[in-house]
């Protein structure tokens, strides 16, 4: 066994719940076809809002996936996370994991936001607060639900609450835990649910598009709020080889930086520093990167800043920069975890997913965003960007296994 | 090996280390932290109480070494400022238009606001992480921060947890787990690799989390540190089975249920009142079945905490 097999981290399972597809096969088809998850909100009454378009996971039936937990006991974010975790271990003998030391690290922006909305509604209307919903307000419950669903007890189970880059944070946490022998496997990802107050907050900031999310487009108007979960099973290459696990991709490395600059606006230098840090950690040269999965929210400021930072790191001929949120909406803490799975699928299936809803690239962005149609491509390395309010940046690099 | 080289706390006993240690074991008349400065947030935002408490907790601790790209910050929480989140929903339900909530409070509606504001205030531009982990949040955060150091992602990490006491949290906590006194505050320690120039207050021998009882977590911590039960001088947390050690030598903070801050207060208690050279076991157990813990060895000579 090569010595570094114990430090190389690979993806051996993936589970995804998204507005464009549930499960890897459906999600891959959605990415290839450039599906849109947008539609009128059903999770809350959108009467009186300036718009009603969101990206919900329609017709989600958690009982199809959950075996140990009763969906009625869970909030929607935990349902997503536990279902995605089930999918991620579908090929794995759980008895193997249960005998090992593990990490369950799940990112979120808003935790069980629908429970908080419902509790507040009850309070405003003078009704008693539901104790079950109240117990779910502690956000760690999302990670505990994942562990319980999979029957894992010898695990550190917690939630990373670093807003919209939280999924990438959790993946990075898993990478370090495995590289340094703190865990023998890691179940990592992100989950969030559509919520009225999130919709209200982004509307108040003027950051919501009325019809469609158009990253890097001259006429882009903002985000659509979304939801879902992405969960990955990570282990060392040595572990995956020893148990004959299917290897989807390698996690080459990651970077974390904090802008420490502004509560909601991104910083070009903070983002560029994060990309460089991730490339260094991965031991990857910029010219090896086949495309970058953008944070790409579709707001004026984010997209321009992200493109400027990309150019700072990659020079004047950067790789394609794809805005998956054009299809998925902004799934908040789940966004970068779902995008991470898209990156792995792009590596294994040989295509670059498109930026849909695209009409005319903004000259201030000036990137190849792979407009509207997926592109066939042999890829070796893919970069996944995640940025957050508060200036919390996390960038992860994935490599094709055997590249 | 990671070591703690500083700490601070804000609690109903007052702001800073001295007030915390003086008040340990007593129950303050007012369960709220006194005189929390209503500092305006960076970028013109109106800060939530959890963020103000985090800023106040760092006040006494932050030094030059805690700033810049090689400095990190990891803050534990239950779910950020629950009060702000509920205020946003209240506004959505009661204002003329459903999105007419106070824009100055929007950054406080996400869990990472406190950590981000601390980073902005002090220029902490390395890894900035918010970790939701119930009453064990600070202990999980300690393990996470130690990993950042081992992975060489930072040279120092400020790590701790805060919790706010607000009418919203009280209503939800009482509905969830029954009526009881609730408190608030926060504590933060500086974690770094051993061998630096600053005097060591304690070594972090092990951190550990399980979905299981405190006993399982305690056993694992001892095994990882290579210690016997009889080596443990004091235990902070809900575990029996340490008959040889004189357990619970250390007073409870006397602050009510301080949520995510409780694990941080336990660390602060160990650092402030532990005997030189002794081992202290800190455990936090939640109703969801999780336990988080840390095993510390206090330094042989106690320097003045800086």
- Which chain B residues are within 8 Å of A130, Cβ to Cβ? 175
Give the pLDDT confidence score for residue B65 in this predicted structure. Answer: 95
B38 has pLDDT over 80 = yes
ipTM comes to 0.97
B243 has pLDDT over 80 = no
Q: Where are the beta strands (DSSP E) in chain B?
A: 2-11, 14-15, 71-77, 128-132, 156-163, 185-193, 202-211, 232-236, 279-285, 290-298
B39 has pLDDT over 90 = no
Q: What is the mean pLDDT of residues B63-73?
A: 97
Share above pLDDT 70 across residues of chain B, in percent, rounded to a whole number:
96
What Cα–Cα distance (Å) separates residue B138 from each residue in A293, B55, B185, B189, B268? 33, 16, 13, 10, 11
Which of these is catalytic: A164, A274, A343, A365?
Answer: A164
- Six-digit token string for A324: 């998956």
Report the C-alpha gap between A339 and A165 in whole angstroms.
Answer: 11
Report the C-alpha gap between B198 and A254 in whole angstroms.
Answer: 30
Give the pLDDT confidence score for residue B304 in this predicted structure. Answer: 46
Report the C-alpha gap between A339 and A385 in whole angstroms.
Answer: 9
**Pairs of CB atoms within 8 A across A/B:** 258
CB < 8 Å from B in window 350-379 of A: none
Establish if A111 touches chain B: CB-CB under 8 angstroms: yes
With CB atoms and an 8 Å threshold, state whether A173 touches B147: yes
Contact B225, B244 (CB under 8 A): no
Q: What is the mean pLDDT of residues B38-45?
A: 86
Q: Which of A201, A223, A253 to mutate to test the interface with B (most CBs of B within 10 A)?
A: A201
Contact A202, A341 (CB under 8 A): no
What lies within 8 Å, CB to CB, of B224 at 6+ separation is: B205, B206, B208, B295
Report the C-alpha gap between B46 and B104 in whole angstroms.
Answer: 5
With CB atoms and an 8 Å threshold, state whether A156 touches B209: yes
Task: List per-residue pLDDT tens for chain A, 403 residues long.
Answer: 566 888 999 999 999 999 999 999 999 999 999 999 999 999 999 999 999 999 999 999 999 999 999 999 999 999 999 999 999 999 999 999 999 999 999 999 999 999 999 999 999 999 999 999 999 999 999 999 999 999 999 999 999 999 999 999 999 999 999 999 999 999 999 999 999 999 999 999 999 999 999 999 999 999 999 999 999 999 999 999 999 999 999 999 999 999 999 989 999 999 999 999 999 999 999 999 999 999 999 999 999 999 999 999 999 999 999 999 999 999 999 999 999 999 999 999 999 999 999 999 999 999 999 999 999 999 999 999 999 999 999 999 999 999 8
Q: Where are the beta strands (DSSP E) in A19-169?
A: 21-22, 38-40, 53-55, 102-107, 155-160
- In three-state secondary structure terms, A99 is coil
Nearest CB to A389 within list B103, B107, B289? B107
Q: What is the mean pLDDT of residues B65-85?
A: 98
Q: Among this protein's residues, is A164 annotated catalytic?
A: yes
- Which chain B residues are within 8 Å of A109, Cβ to Cβ? 110-111
- Six-digit token string for A169: 């944070």
Q: What is the mean pLDDT of residues B60-79?
A: 97
CB < 8 Å from B in window 172-201 of A: 173, 176-177, 179-180, 182, 196-201
Q: How confident is the model at residue B42 (pLDDT cuts 50, 70, 90)?
A: confident
pTM over 0.90: yes
Establish if B55 touches chain A: CB-CB under 8 angstroms: no
Helices (H) and strands (E) in chain B, counts: 8, 10
Least Cα distance to B226 among B212, B206, B210 occurs for: B206
- Six-digit token string for A384: 């996944």
Q: Among this protein's residues, is A258 annotated catalytic?
A: no
What Cα–Cα distance (Å) separates residue B120 from each residue in A156, A190, A376, B7, B76? 30, 25, 43, 20, 18
Query: What would the pLDDT profile of B78-133 be if each residue is shown by its tens digit?
Result: 999 999 999 999 999 999 999 999 999 999 999 999 999 999 999 999 999 999 99
Q: How confident is the model at residue B302 (pLDDT cuts 50, 70, 90)?
A: low
């Amino acid at each position: 066994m090569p010595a570094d097999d114990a430090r190389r981290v690979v993806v051996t399972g993936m589970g995804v719940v998204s507005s464009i597809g549930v499960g890897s096969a459906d999600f891959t088809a959605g990415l290839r076809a450039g599906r849109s998850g947008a539609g009128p909100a059903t999770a809350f009454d959108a009467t009186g809002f300036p718009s009603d378009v969101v990206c919900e996971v329609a017709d989600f039936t958690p009982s199809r996936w959950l075996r140990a937990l009763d969906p009625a006991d869970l909030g929607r974010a935990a349902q997503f996370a536990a279902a995605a975790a089930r999918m991620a271990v579908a090929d794995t003998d759980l008895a193997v994991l249960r005998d090992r030391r593990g990490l369950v690290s799940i990112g979120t922006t808003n935790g069980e936001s629908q429970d908080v909305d419902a509790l507040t509604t009850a309070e405003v209307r003078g009704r008693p607060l539901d104790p079950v919903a109240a117990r779910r307000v502690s956000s760690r419950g999302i990670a505990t639900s994942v562990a319980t669903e999979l029957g894992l007890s010898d695990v550190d189970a917690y939630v990373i609450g670093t807003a919209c880059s939280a999924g990438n944070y959790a993946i990075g946490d898993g990478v370090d835990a495995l590289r340094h022998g703190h865990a023998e496997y890691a179940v990592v990802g992100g989950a969030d649910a559509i919520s009225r107050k999130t919709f209200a907050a982004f509307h108040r900031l003027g950051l919501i598009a009325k019809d469609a999310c158009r990253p890097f487009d001259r006429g882009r108007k903002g985000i659509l709020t979304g939801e879902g979960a992405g969960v990955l099973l990570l282990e060392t290459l040595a572990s995956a080889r020893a148990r004959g696990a299917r290897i989807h991709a390698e996690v080459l490395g990651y970077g974390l930086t904090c802008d420490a600059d502004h509560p909601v606006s991104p910083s070009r230098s903070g983002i560029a520093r994060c990309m460089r840090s991730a490339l260094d950690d991965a031991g990857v040269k910029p010219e090896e990167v086949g495309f970058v999965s953008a944070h790409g929210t579709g707001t004026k400021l984010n997209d321009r800043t992200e493109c400027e930072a990309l150019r700072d790191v990659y020079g004047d001929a950067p790789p394609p920069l794809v805005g998956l949120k054009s299809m998925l909406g902004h799934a908040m803490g789940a966004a970068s975890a779902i995008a991470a799975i898209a990156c792995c699928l792009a590596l294994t299936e040989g295509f670059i997913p498109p930026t849909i809803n695209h009409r005319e690239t903004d000259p201030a962005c000036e990137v190849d965003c792979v407009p509207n149609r997926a592109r066939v491509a042999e890829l070796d390395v893919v970069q996944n960007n995640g940025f957050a309010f508060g200036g919390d940046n996390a960038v992860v690099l994935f490599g094709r296994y055997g590249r | 090996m990671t070591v703690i080289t500083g700490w601070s706390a804000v609690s109903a006993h007052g702001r800073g280390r001295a007030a915390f240690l003086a008040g340990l074991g007593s129950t303050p008349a007012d369960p709220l932290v006194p005189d929390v400065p209503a500092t305006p947030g960076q970028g013109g935002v109106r800060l939530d109480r959890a963020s103000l408490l985090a800023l106040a907790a760092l006040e006494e601790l932050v030094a030059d070494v805690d700033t810049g790209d090689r400095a990190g910050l990891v803050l534990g929480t239950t779910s950020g400022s629950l009060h702000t989140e509920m205020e946003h929903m209240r506004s959505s339900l009661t204002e003329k238009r459903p999105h007419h909530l106070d824009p100055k409070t929007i950054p406080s509606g996400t869990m990472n606001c406190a950590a981000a504001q601390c980073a902005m205030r002090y220029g902490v531009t390395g890894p900035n992480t918010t970790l939701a982990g119930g009453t064990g949040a600070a202990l999980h955060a300690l393990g996470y921060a130690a990993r950042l150091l081992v992975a060489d992602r930072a040279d120092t990490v400020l790590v701790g947890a805060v919790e706010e006491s607000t009418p919203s949290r009280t209503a939800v906590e009482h509905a969830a787990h029954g009526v009881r006194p609730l408190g608030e505050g926060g504590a933060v320690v500086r974690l770094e690799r051993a061998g630096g120039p600053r005097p060591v207050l304690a070594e972090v021998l092990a951190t550990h989390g399980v979905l299981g009882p405190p006993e399982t977590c305690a056993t694992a911590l001892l095994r990882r540190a290579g210690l016997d039960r009889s080596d443990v001088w004091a235990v902070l947390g809900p575990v029996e089975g340490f008959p040889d050690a004189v357990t619970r030598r250390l007073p409870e903070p006397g602050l009510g249920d301080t949520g995510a801050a409780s694990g941080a207060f336990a660390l602060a208690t160990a650092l402030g009142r532990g005997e030189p050279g002794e081992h202290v076991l800190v455990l936090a157990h939640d109703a969801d079945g999780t336990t988080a813990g840390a095993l510390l060895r206090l330094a042989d000579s106690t320097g003045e905490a800086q």
